[in-house]
Amino acid sequence: MDQLRYPKLLTIQDISCVGQCSLTVALPILSACGAETCILPSAVLSTHTGGFKGFTVRDLTADMPAVAAHWKKEGISFDAVYTGYLGSIEQIGYVQDIIRDLRRPGGKVFVDPAMADNGVLYGAFDMPYVHAIKPLCFSADVMLPNLTEACLLTDMPYRTEYDEAYIAEILTRLEAAGAGTVILTGISYEPGTTGVIVRENGVTQYYRHKYLDRVTHGTGDVYASIFVGAVLQGRSAFEAAKLAADLTVQSIENTMDDASHWYGVKFETVLPALIDALRK
């Protein structure tokens, strides 16, 4: 595929000006994937919140409906909508309005719940937020939860040790709630490896890959953005999941020898490989 497709995508999430996560990751990755990438920032932060102190935050919730109204007036619409971190229940409602009003017929919706990890909700969220985001997740064409988020969305207990039957029950509950394609990340059945599960049309596929024992920020955003970009270029969900996993691992490996780069991963170093892979 020498000529990439040129879809028009809207991604809605916050901007951490420094820190290689959220929109500062999504915008360059999706652009590299050949998409016209439009953005709607939900907030602007001086840095992300993982390890930096005294960061600034500008909440843009009040601006979101006005921006959407202007787009609607101008006749602007999108082939796909991809959501990441949303800061409040109010923002979830605005996103649902945007999807209803501005998504083109047949356009895809990708939702990364981005609300929890390692068995706990992020500090800004509570259970009412979890309940509020369920309709957005379960109406999406593709949702990309990690294990903690999948447990919260299905009222399953979170476990650090589990078997395939436990994961199968989570997937069954997600499907029963209305989930489309599910990309379940960070699933490990044996030491030294982890992987991603793709559940689509009742079929489960598992891609096992290397586990790197390093705390990293923004890798979920790197993964989701590569996945979305690859799907928009015609890759199947499983092909996109594999590519996203391999390049996310590579971006971590490319960062591990630089102790000063603790705040994110050098995803820019894998963009040439991403572009090459999508042209094949």
Tallying the residues shown for the chain, one arrives at: 280
Per the structure block, which two tokens stand in for 35?
């998409």
- Least Cα distance to 103 among 111, 92, 95 occurs for 95
Cα distance between residue 46 and residue 11, in whole Å: 20
Q: What is the pLDDT of residue 226?
A: 98
Mean pLDDT of 8-25: 96
Q: What are the CA-CA distances from residue 103 to residues 35, 96, 106, 181, 188 (Å)?
A: 15, 10, 8, 19, 36
In a domain, 2, yes or no: no
Mean pLDDT of 109-115: 97
Q: What is the pLDDT of residue 123?
A: 87
What CATH number did the domain enclosing 70 receive? 3.40.1190.20
For residues 248 and 222, the answer to whether their CB atoms sit within 8 Å is: yes
- What contacts 210, CB < 8 A, 6 or more positions away? 192, 193, 194, 249
In a domain, 92, yes or no: yes
In a domain, 153, yes or no: yes
Mean pLDDT of 83-88: 95
Q: What is the pLDDT of residue 2?
A: 61
Output the 3-class SS for 68-115. HHHHHHHCCCEEEEEECCCCCHHHHHHHHHHHHHHEEEEEEEEECCCC
Q: What are the CA-CA distances from residue 73 to residues 68, 76, 155, 201 (Å)?
A: 9, 8, 41, 37
Cα distance between residue 93 and residue 111, in whole Å: 14
Question: What does the pLDDT look like over 196-254, one tens digit per residue?
Answer: 999 999 999 999 998 887 778 899 999 999 999 999 999 999 999 999 999 999 999 99
Confidence of residue 188 (pLDDT cuts 50, 70, 90): very high
In a domain, 251, yes or no: yes
In a domain, 110, yes or no: yes
In a domain, 206, yes or no: yes
For residues 208 and 191, the answer to whether their CB atoms sit within 8 Å is: no
If one counts the domains in the chain, the total is: 1
Cα distance between residue 218 and residue 224, in whole Å: 10
pTM: 0.96
Instruction: Between 124 and 134, name the one with better pLDDT.
Output: 134
Question: pLDDT averaged over the chain?
Answer: 95
- What contacts 135, CB < 8 A, 6 or more positions away? 96
In a domain, 96, yes or no: yes
Cα distance between residue 163 and residue 69, in whole Å: 47
Ranges of beta strands (E only) in the chain are: 8-18, 36-47, 57-59, 78-83, 103-111, 116-117, 120-121, 142-143, 181-185, 193-200, 203-210
Tell me which residue range forms the domain holding 178. Answer: 8-279
Cα distance between residue 191 and residue 99, in whole Å: 41
Cα distance between residue 112 and residue 232, in whole Å: 16
In a domain, 1, yes or no: no
Q: What is the pLDDT of residue 139?
A: 97
The DSSP H or E segment spanning 157 is none
Q: What is the pLDDT of residue 247?
A: 97
